[in-house]
Structure 1
Amino acid sequence: MQNHQFPINFLESLLNEPGFDHQNFVDTHQKNDSPTSIRINPFKKTSTKTGEQVPWCADGLYLYTRPSFTFDPLFHAGAYYVQEASSMFIGHILKHIKPEAPVNIIDLCAAPGGKSTLLNSAMTPDDLLVANEIIKTRVPILTDNLARWGTANTIVTNNDPKDFGRLTGFFDIVLVDAPCSGSGMFRKDPDAMDEWSPANVNLCHQRQERILADIYPALKEDGYLIYSTCSYSHQENEDILDWLCSTFALESIRIPVNKEWGIVESQSTKKEAWGYRFYPGLVKGEGLFASVLRKRESSGNLTSFKNNKNQKVPHNELDLIKPYINDPSAYYFFKVNEDWMAINQQHKESLNLLQHHLYIKKSGVCIGKLAGRDLIPDHELALSIIVNKDAAVQTELDYDQAILYLRRENLNIDEAKKGWSLMNFEGHTLGWAKLLPNRVNNYYPKELRILSSPRPSSKEGER
């Protein structure tokens, strides 16, 4: 940060923002490094990660030192997600608005997947999460992160927000973590300063309005819209709330926060809509703005859709698949090309509906494909929480073996049992290998293998 200067006019633009402390803000950016925080996967609990708890997130931890995440097998197993602490506040909001009844939730601007996994952590199998990413090149990291999280109640889509207008009233909760000017990430990513300008703020404001207008019909009456940015700009935050409340039948919802957390509560100028501002130096985290509004009108009824092209499931194949799944009666099985997939049974109709309207990149968990009467299991199945671990050999690896496996290198394992094996580290599965009489075939995906030396990039996860 010492080598970067704030953009011209940036600090002046913040002088009248709620809770802004000029000197504290400057000192924090110049003198303090960003804290390192992770969020534990509640479906894959690990007791080996310790740190100070993030006040607004029960599963969030500030680590005392930043480890080499690339060389931590538990990171690859999906036991935790590296996420900026302020962003975890979205989970706090969800805790206060999510009903007990099953809900459909969409994370509209989802990549790389931090907020999608955060939402998913608070969901039950009865709830459905749609994680959408408009930029095609960012979809793979989103699917990888959700696959690591391990649940089957997720669908990844690659659509423009306007495409969701056809899904009238389908979602109970909509999260729009909107593309923004990025000023809240200046400390973590000083290069972002080069992109900031008043003109870019204005451009982002216009894009945010378009995105919100496009997704609005898909939110059902009495449903909740969570809006967030990583910007400090009034134009991208409180002004957007005023625009929302003036344009649509939305009411602001106030979320309880502890004063000791250092979060600044704000209200918009015209409609007095509630927002929550995070400033480095006041909170242990980066810049964030978050808010939640409730829809008080109907956008009409969703046009009914009956799928008359239901796939005929070859039961002889299905009988070979089911032993690999815990409680197979809880899942709907279907094929995409040669791959067998599973999603929670209660989401079958929603999947058919979404397939009719959207471009789907991933549904539930990929189980694998059959070769004769043998299943070639998919990496997603290994990382999932639905895999029947009794259906395969399990091999516990020490740290050095785990790193060799994650590099997709050769392993020497003294294992009497042969066949498909789940390769585990500290009880958490990393992937598959096939144990043969004289060798081990490493099936860790080539595109995921560790390529770097033991001084890796430290920006896995985030947001």
Structure 2
Amino acid sequence: MSNKLPNDLINHLKEDPEFDIEAFVYKHEEEEKTNSIRINPLKSFDYTSLGIAGSIPWCTEGFYLKERPIFTLDPFFHAGCYYSQEASSMFLAHAIAQLSLADKPLKALDLCAAPGGKSTLLNAALHPQSLLVSNEIIKARVNILSDNLMRWGNPNVVVSNNDPSAFKHLPGYFDLLVVDAPCSGSGMFHKDHAAIDEWSLANVKLCSERQKRILAHSLDSLTQDGYLFYSTCSYSKEENEDIVDWLIDEWGMAPLSLSVDEAWGIDQTQSPLHGAHGYRFYPHKVGGEGFFFAVLQKKNEQTTFSRKKIKLDRNNAPQALAKNWLDMEGLYTFAHHDDLHVFPKLYEVDLKALQQVLYLKNAGTPIGKLTGKELVPSHDLALSVRILPDLPAIELELDEALNYLRKETVDPGVNTNNLKGWVLMRYQGVNLGWIKAMPNRINNYYPKELRIAVL
């Protein structure tokens, strides 16, 4: 592993006579890394306990940390109170605000979504009645995406595992398409020196071709006048500005500009053919890693997916049961095998449409399994932002909370009110998961696959 930057990359950056290559190289020789989080606005907790160093100027919920904590040992992390996200990539929040995309409900697709940073950002920044389809192309990465969105706690999300070509079957369906494209990764060199050894001009070319394929297969799903957010963590113009020019030439996309405070240190670039605006983040100029971002709007006419032929199946799921556990305003219940889910009623037909053309990993919030007329509550329900606040609960101290998150035996002594049945475990008012309180013992129902296994 080396921290010596590739000569081909250095020569490429030197083509800009105003680029400070010495400062760029020096920054990459430093071992100091920027640490940042983005808080979940729907889960209240004392985030100052994490050691806040300052605010991220382009994201209201983003904060720099004085040092990187051990997230594994923080109950707030496991409860979905915040997401550890690289600061530069939070720039999506600024674009959403600038374009007023949170003013009304819309349908958004995060095409290359794992591990979930941008999806959780979209879920927080867009209108609360929006629908988010969070897709991951690589099957092995879908579970971490689903887990992170489960922690975030909103029911208006569908998680899917599909090749971009599958979205051709939903023409003109989405109002916002987010493509954080797989790339050669040079923007991560400061954070991850191991990535340097994997970089080459041949890989840049390969990634550029892959990016075009991903975009070509998915752009039909964007409605006319819909927005494309395109981003990479690469410094190569072949993966950035050249792709923007290709989108304009081949797809008739219209580039848009955003107003950016000069004090933020973001480089505003123009593509070589059309002068389209792009936004570059360099670690020696901003508090973040390398990142490229561009916004385009679809102007060509686009045939639109029709929902008229979609027939809803008879829904035999009990609708009243969920009201004992959640605020069900605007939601309905449906069953998938033995699991009961809640999902926005506004998108009931949409869910049926998505099921017909996509492989779905999850839809909405699975709230538990039906056993007769009883519900065995799920971990997803415990972390839902819709869960009722007055359900039976036990407040834990830090050591007790970590013991619970390790899925170790829970001391019956914590049950000072002698509660019975399904009980929430909380840390500083935030739900962590379920126990079942029995007369002489407590059963720990924290999911085995999520437990703290390594300290």
> Aligned pair in 2 of structure 1 residues 6, 341: CA closer, same or farther (>3 Å)?
same
Which residue identity lines up with residue 249 of structure 1 in the other structure?
A: G
Aligned to 2:354: 354
Does structure 1 conserve the Cα–Cα contact (< 8 Å) formed by 2:104 and 2:127? no
Runs of 4+ with >4 A deviation: none
3-state SS in 2 of match to 1:430:
strand
> Aligned pair in 2 of structure 1 residues 264, 106: CA closer, same or farther (>3 Å)?
same
Output the CA distance in 1 between the equivalents of 2:92 and 2:18: 20
Aligned match for 1:194, one of 188, 197, 200: 197
Are 1:283 and 2:286 matched, yes or no? yes
Does structure 1 conserve the Cα–Cα contact (< 8 Å) formed by 2:175 and 2:222? yes
Output the CA distance in 2 between the equivalents of 1:181 and 1:441: 47
Deviates more, 1:303-312 or 1:427-436: 303-312
Aligned to 1:452: 454
Aligned to 2:139: 136
Which runs of structure 2 are paired with 1:34-73 in the superposition (5 Å)? 34-49=33-48, 50-73=52-75
- Report Cα offsets for 1:369-400 as digits up to 9, x if no partner: 1223321100001001111232x311111100
3-state SS in 2 of match to 1:203:
helix
Deviation at 1:6, TM superposition (A): 1.7
Aligned to 1:375: 375
Does structure 1 conserve the Cα–Cα contact (< 8 Å) formed by 2:102 and 2:127? no
Aligned to 2:437: 435
Which residue identity lines up with residue 223 of structure 1 in the other structure?
A: G
Aligned residues: 448
- Report Cα offsets for 1:220-247 as digits up to 9, x if no partner: 0111001000000010000001111011
Deviation at 1:311, TM superposition (A): 3.7
Aligned to 1:11: 10
Output the CA distance in 2 between the equivalents of 1:171 and 1:320: 33
Deviation at 1:110, TM superposition (A): 0.1
> Aligned pair in 2 of structure 1 residues 213, 424: CA closer, same or farther (>3 Å)?
same
Output the CA distance in 1 between the equivalents of 2:336 and 2:22: 57
RMSD (Å) for aligned C-alpha atoms = 1.4
Aligned match for 2:128, one of 95, 107, 125: 125
Which residue identity lines up with residue 426 of structure 1 in the other structure?
A: Q
> Aligned pair in 2 of structure 1 residues 304, 344: CA closer, same or farther (>3 Å)?
closer
Which runs of structure 2 are paired with 1:123-272 in the superposition (5 Å)? 123-272=126-275
Which runs of structure 2 are paired with 1:89-104 in the superposition (5 Å)? 89-97=91-99, 98=101, 100-104=103-107
Aligned to 2:320: 319
3-state SS in 1 of match to 2:67:
coil
- Report Cα offsets for 1:389-429 as digits up to 9, x if no partner: 32x31111110000000000011123311111111111111
Aligned match for 2:424, one of 389, 407, 422: 422
Deviation at 1:362, TM superposition (A): 0.8
Output the CA distance in 1 between the equivalents of 2:6 and 2:36: 27
Deviation at 1:99, TM superposition (A): 5.5
Aligned match for 1:75, one of 77, 82, 93: 77
Does structure 2 conserve the Cα–Cα contact (< 8 Å) formed by 1:334 and 1:342? yes
Output the CA distance in 2 between the equivalents of 1:99 and 1:139: 27
Which residue identity lines up with residue 443 of structure 2 in the other structure?
A: N
Output the CA distance in 2 between the equivalents of 1:175 and 1:17: 29
> Aligned pair in 2 of structure 1 residues 314, 228: CA closer, same or farther (>3 Å)?
closer
Which residue identity lines up with residue 344 of structure 1 in the other structure?
A: P
Deviation at 1:20, TM superposition (A): 3.0
Deviation at 1:48, TM superposition (A): 3.2
Which residue identity lines up with residue 24 of structure 2 in the other structure?
A: F
Aligned to 2:395: 396
Aligned to 2:330: 330
Which residue identity lines up with residue 405 of structure 2 in the other structure?
A: L
- Report Cα offsets for 1:231-277 as digits up to 9, x if no partner: 00010000001111011121110001000000000000111110000
Output the CA distance in 1 between the equivalents of 2:315 and 2:453: 42
Are 1:408 and 2:403 matched, yes or no? no
Does structure 1 conserve the Cα–Cα contact (< 8 Å) formed by 2:322 and 2:333? no
3-state SS in 2 of match to 1:105:
strand
Output the CA distance in 1 between the equivalents of 2:279 and 2:17: 10
Same amino acid, percent of matched pairs:
48
Does structure 2 conserve the Cα–Cα contact (< 8 Å) formed by 1:169 and 1:298? no
Deviation at 1:18, TM superposition (A): 8.2
Deviation at 1:4, TM superposition (A): 2.5
Output the CA distance in 1 between the equivalents of 2:47 and 2:150: 22
Does structure 1 conserve the Cα–Cα contact (< 8 Å) formed by 2:223 and 2:304? no
| TM norm structure 1 | 0.94
Output the CA distance in 1 between the equivalents of 2:141 and 2:314: 30
Output the CA distance in 1 between the equivalents of 2:407 and 2:187: 38
> Aligned pair in 2 of structure 1 residues 17, 356: CA closer, same or farther (>3 Å)?
farther
Deviation at 1:162, TM superposition (A): 0.7
| TM norm structure 2 | 0.96
* Higher-RCO chain (CA-CA 8 Å, sequence separation at least 6): 1
Aligned to 2:90: 88
3-state SS in 2 of match to 1:9:
helix
Output the CA distance in 2 between the equivalents of 1:155 and 1:314: 19
Does structure 2 conserve the Cα–Cα contact (< 8 Å) formed by 1:151 and 1:365? yes
